[in-house]
Amino acid sequence: MSASCPHNAAINCSDCRMNSLCLPIALELDEVERLNEIVQRGRPLHKDSHVYDIADEFSAIYAVRSGSIKTYSVSDQGVVQVTGFYLPGEIFGMDGIAHTHYISAAVAMETSAICEIPFSRLEELSMAMPSLQRHFFKLMSKEITSDQQLITLLSKNSAEERVATLLLSISARNAKRSLSGVRFRLPMSRADIGNYLGLTVETVSRVFSRFQKQGLLDVDKKEIEITDVSALQELANT
Amino acid sequence: MSASCPHNAAINCSDCRMNSLCLPIALELDEVERLNEIVQRGRPLHKDSHVYDIADEFSAIYAVRSGSIKTYSVSDQGVVQVTGFYLPGEIFGMDGIAHTHYISAAVAMETSAICEIPFSRLEELSMAMPSLQRHFFKLMSKEITSDQQLITLLSKNSAEERVATLLLSISARNAKRSLSGVRFRLPMSRADIGNYLGLTVETVSRVFSRFQKQGLLDVDKKEIEITDVSALQELANT
DNA sequence: CGACGCGTTGAATGTTGTCAAACCGAGTGG
DNA sequence: CCACTCGGTTTGACAACATTCAACGCGTCG
């Protein structure tokens, strides 16, 4: 039952179902082994518990093994901004690298298992392994480009376009993990979606209702079925 | 006249007035020298000429030596999003790392001089120089956090708050270069500001007028004088 | 001079936010 | 077992802020 349960801590990178997502493709087998040795696997986190909190000392970046994580920051005035949703195979915590402590927080949106990668050891390993260094440069660069896509979304798109884009993003990421891209469960609340997309809860709810009425979606609480993918893509591609 | 003219190409990192901004503090003198050797300094770019364009092959990141640069991306549907303004001493082009080609473009907003840092050689050098590798991890992480601050701004703040925040950001960055933080010239057009902040030109113009009427600013085209810093900070801090 | 780019201002429109109420499901305690 | 509360969600009515459309001013350049 070691490899069968996604929450199980007694797994390693070589066996992990997610390794094609979070590990560099270019790594040789023995290189994966060396990376595997520095990865810490803790026990499952339950819903709402923190992976790290704002002002915690920065020491590691993280990969989602199962479940889902959201990150958020809080401004000086106490305004909360959800900055990302992370699904299995995805990496988070890279914003802490520039500082000695985290400037955001990460919490489990449901029961989740994560891999902790101590940053100092990752730095050492990167010095010795060119492909690993390159991989992490790329990972960070990808974070930058995805942030910039969100900036464009917030800056230029309507409420409907924002919601459609988020749904398609989650759909695509599910598909990448060989899950259904048309039928899935949203791990986050309406409030989280609204906060992330710069909308109020009410607006998000109205958009879902409108999409349902228009036959684009079948919505049942957090269970979503996309019934008209191309119409949704049409909307997202403003 | 070699070091006196900021557009001059015949300068090196050791002498550059901006090196405290764009170089890692931790570098030893001989390390600066090695970095200096890979930096390419071209002739000044005139206004509106591209440093790189969308779909150009990615090969380098850049530092602004003088003048100012804006970066922007274009969506599939042709929607333009200004993603950043870069002043002397600041680094841009890091979003290209994740891809083989740039997904954004960079143009000079006025006559500017830039330093080109070939990425492959930077990677090599980073392998040998721990402080350099760390510095670039930090630079990218900083780009991520500044993007996330922009996300929060777009997601949660009003037009006035957005404009106030941008003005204070430029003010602070000027001050860091030992220029005046209260009296300066905006290098970008109202249209660029609006595009960057997710507002229309008209709204930006109205906000400037309102700020002037309220005695926060003295505006004369692109010349700005901040006449009430604390009131502006009050506004920017949601 | 006239055209053009850029910025400003006004009036009308509209999308989204605000406020308020109600619903629903899950869990709790009497 | 049922009434109760509570968090999350939905819906409606209204208000507000930003956009849209339009016109005009100003400086520059052909």
Q: Do residues A109 and A68 touch, judged by C-beta distance below 8 A?
A: yes
The CA-CA-CA angle for residues B108, A143, A8, to 5°, reads: 175
Check B151 against A155: CB less than 8 A apart. Answer: no
Check B147 against A151: CB less than 8 A apart. Answer: yes
| pLDDT at B222 exceeding the cut of 60 | yes
Structure confidence by residue, pLDDT tens digits, B227-238: 999 999 999 986
Domain boundaries of chain B, sorted by first residue: 19-134, 156-235
Structure confidence by residue, pLDDT tens digits, A116-145: 999 999 989 988 888 888 888 888 888 888
Q: Which helix (H) or strand (E) holds B188?
A: none
From first to last of its 238 residues, chain A has per-residue pLDDT tens of 444 555 565 578 888 888 888 877 677 888 889 989 999 887 789 999 999 999 999 999 999 999 999 999 998 888 999 999 999 999 999 888 888 899 999 999 999 999 999 999 998 998 888 888 888 888 888 888 899 999 999 999 999 999 999 999 999 999 998 789 999 999 999 999 999 999 999 999 999 999 999 999 999 999 999 999 999 999 998 6
Q: Is A25 on the interface with B (CB under 8 A)?
A: no
**Given pLDDT bands bounded at 50, 70 and 90, which one contains residue B137?**
confident
* Fold topology of A156-235: Arc Repressor Mutant, subunit A (1.10.10)
Q: Is A44 on the interface with B (CB under 8 A)?
A: no
Burial class (CB in 10 A: 0-12, 13-18, 19+), A11: buried
Q: Do residues A89 and A13 touch, judged by C-beta distance below 8 A?
A: no
Pick from B97, B137, B238: CB nearest A79: B238
Structure confidence by residue, pLDDT tens digits, B70-117: 999 998 888 999 999 999 999 999 888 888 899 999 999 999 999 999
Q: Do residues B77 and B65 touch, judged by C-beta distance below 8 A?
A: no
B156-235 matches B19-134 in CATH topology: no
Q: Which residues, other chains included, contact A115 with Cβ-Cβ below 8 Å and sequence gap of 6+?
A: A22, A39, A40, A41, A62, A63, A65
CA distance A211 to chain B (A): 22
Global confidence as pTM: 0.91
Which nucleotide has the shortest C1'-to-CA distance from A205?
D10
Which nucleotide has the shortest C1'-to-CA distance from B200?
D19
Which one is predicted more confidently, B196 or B138?
B196
Which nucleotide has the shortest C1'-to-CA distance from A221?
D9
For residue A78, what pLDDT is reported? 87
Where does chain B have alpha helices with state H?
Answer: 19-22, 29-38, 119-128, 130-156, 159-176, 190-197, 201-213, 229-236
Which letter, b or e, does each residue of B23-47 get, where b requires 16 or more Cβ atoms within 10 Å of its Cβ?
bbeebeeebbeebbebbebeebbee
For residue A3, what pLDDT is reported? 45
Nearest to residue A187, comparing CAs of A101, A57, A84? A84
For residue A8, what pLDDT is reported? 63
For the domain spanning A19-134, the CATH number is 2.60.120.10
Q: Would strands A80-86 and A69-74 be described as parallel, antiparallel, or unpaired?
A: antiparallel
Where does chain A have alpha helices with state H?
Answer: 19-22, 29-38, 119-128, 130-156, 159-176, 190-197, 201-213, 229-236
Q: Is A150 on the interface with B (CB under 8 A)?
A: yes
- Mean pLDDT, chain B, as a whole number? 91
* Residue B153 neighbours by CB distance under 10 Å: 25
Report CA(B105)–C1'(D24) in Å, whole number. Answer: 34
Which of helix, strand or coil describes residue A27? coil
B187 vs B68: CA distance, rounded Å: 7
Check B98 against A141: CB less than 8 A apart. Answer: yes
